[in-house]
Structure 1
Amino acid sequence: MSEPASESAGTAVNSGLRRSRFSFNQITAKLWGLEEMVAGCVAAGVDQVALWREPVAEYGLARSAALVRDAGLTVTTLCRSGFFQLPDWFDDNRRAIDEAAALGTKVLVLVSGGLPDGSRDLAGARRHVADAIGRLAPYAAAAGVTLAIEPLHPMYAADRCVISTWDQAMAIAEQHPAGQVGVTVDTYHLWWDDTVLEKIARAGERIAIYQLADWITPLPAGVLTGRGLPGDGCVDMRAFHDAVDKAGYAGPIEVEVMNAGLWERPGREVLDVTLTAYDSVF
């Protein structure tokens, strides 16, 4: 009789620890105003959030920083910067680093951007991303911000992200100290790679942030906004959890779901179903 009770207690403790690592990514409730989102998270007992640059800029950087700080919330990441194919990439990324530091987050997510207009030079674009991160890394380090390279699913390589695989992201990150440049583990973008789990398990402190979203089928017309909540699709979340645990990652776990249908629902409702989905995969 005692053994099942002990196992149940251990499961409950583990579940509590997992919930304490939960971070609500702002994009999951895209139309929820920042003030309302902060109030909703506080009411729900959520003390970590991931913010996006556009709504922060709309509300005001200083006001946003004060709002989350006064509410007792921790900003786990700022999303996103990168887009190194654009002419103003250098200045914009330095601004993003400054914004991350002002918000008190230690992690800035980088989406590398696609091919320059009219270009088919994929290898050249990837070399440029590596060079660009090399130029930015010292500035980020001075600000106390880690650049978290996010490999996106290969279907985004042309227009959004020429860094498509874990290996490509790690090859760039490993040119720098781990505290300066790391890699984002996003289940939505990496689930298809049959070699990635064992590589994640060996990544150690290179894992800068861990994000959850599910791959649902059939693919919606708007693929970019057709992700599922954890547990709604075909991603083996448990396998990813095991891999990041083996790597020693004990940081925040963000739920970042871009879904047009989800965005139509009230923000607090979105937060509630997100928490339910998060709990269900542990």
Structure 2
Amino acid sequence: MTQSPSIDRLSLNQITTDRWSLREAAEGCVRAGVPWISVWRHKIAEIGLSESKKIIQDSGLHVSSVCRGGMFPAATAAERQERIDDNKRAIEEAAELGTNVLVLVCGPSPDKDIAAARGMVNDGIEQLVPFAESHGVTLGIEPLHPMYAADRSVVNTLGQANRMAENYTPNQVGVVVDVFHVWWDPNVYQDIQRARGRIVGFHVSDWVVPMPDMFKGRGMMGDGVIELRKLRTAVEEAGYYGPIEVEIINQAIWDTQGDEVLATMKDRYIEHV
């Protein structure tokens, strides 16, 4: 039987305890013995980048990623440039917080032309690569489940993400494998192998039945149908041994006391991931 991953790889993706501020999340991780944290930009904005950096440094935590950049498609050239400028700020934030990964949620189409929107994503990434590389940051394309194609991302399979990323070197553009978004894909294991050397993030949660909410419907590991350990083994076989982020967007979990969430998260990580 495949062994559990080391706790040394466990990361709290901050959205899992969304009611916590960055300081509360950092202190919670320290109490729980969780060594990594993935920081969300709206939490950075609440207190500013310098204070965010100080909290991270004082806690001794490592930052696995900053979430999120992307959201490239827009109706006008001016709006698209605003998105590029915001992504540059996200790159600067990632570099300042000591992570080399900016997760890209690529964005929906501004109209019905989904192919054109995907072209805008490619154009946006191309514009960002030199700036990101100069800051030591890799752009991690995270494909989202097809049910989010209309409102969150037109990049919906790992195969798509691979094709986009392969235009660049692995240190410039990589892919993020989130089990919630890719578990269903009949090509997922071959696409994970295709991403060898290019995987910059691995996110875990579960797909529960019935799903309580399309956006806030992710479950705690072990509560759903995803073959978590099989997917984790696959990304390791493709060369990824970095931090494993627990990323759960779920109102009931948000309403649970944060320390309890982290305790459950650790137990389920050991048992199911």
1:132 offset after TM fit, Å?
A: 0.7
Q: 1:40 maps to which residue?
A: 28
Aligned-residue RMSD, C-alpha: 1.3
2:95 aligned with 1:101, yes or no? yes
Q: Which amino acid aligns with 1:108?
A: L
Q: Distance in 2 between matches of 1:132 and 1:143?
A: 17
- Give 1:115's match in structure 2, choosing from 109, 129, 136: 109
Q: Distance in 2 between matches of 1:261 and 1:149?
A: 28
Deviation digits for residues 246-272 of structure 1 (CA, Å, limit 9, x no counterpart):
101110100000000000011111111
Q: Percent identity?
A: 48
Q: Distance in 1 between matches of 2:205 and 2:35?
A: 20
Which structure would you say has the larger Rg? 1
Q: Distance in 2 between matches of 1:199 and 1:136?
A: 24
Q: 2:44 maps to which residue?
A: 56
Q: 1:209 maps to which residue?
A: 201
Q: Distance in 2 between matches of 1:225 and 1:151?
A: 17
Secondary structure, aligned partner of 2:151: coil
Q: Which amino acid aligns with 2:211?
A: L
- Give 2:240's match in structure 1, choosing from 225, 245, 249: 249
Equivalent pair of 2:162/2:194 in contact (CA under 8 Å)? no
Q: Distance in 1 between matches of 2:64 and 2:229?
A: 22
Q: Which amino acid aligns with 2:195?
A: A
Equivalent pair of 2:162/2:191 in contact (CA under 8 Å)? no
Q: 2:85 maps to which residue?
A: 91
1:200 offset after TM fit, Å?
A: 0.4
Which aligned segments of 4 or more residues in structure 1 are displaced greater than 4 angstroms?
none
- Give 1:264's match in structure 2, choosing from 255, 258, 262: 255
TM-score between the two structures when normalised by the length of structure 1: 0.92
TM-score between the two structures when normalised by the length of structure 2: 0.95
Secondary structure, aligned partner of 1:223: coil
Equivalent pair of 1:238/1:281 in contact (CA under 8 Å)? yes
- Give 1:81's match in structure 2, choosing from 61, 66, 69: 69
- Give 2:222's match in structure 1, choosing from 231, 245, 251: 231
1:178 offset after TM fit, Å?
A: 0.4
Q: Which amino acid aligns with 2:66?
A: L
Q: Distance in 1 between matches of 2:192 and 2:253?
A: 30
Equivalent pair of 1:201/1:245 in contact (CA under 8 Å)? no
Q: Distance in 2 between matches of 1:92 and 1:173?
A: 21
Secondary structure, aligned partner of 1:204: coil
Count of matched residue positions in the alignment of Structure 1 and Structure 2: 267
Secondary structure, aligned partner of 1:205: coil
Equivalent pair of 2:145/2:156 in contact (CA under 8 Å)? yes
Secondary structure, aligned partner of 1:170: helix
Equivalent pair of 2:216/2:250 in contact (CA under 8 Å)? yes
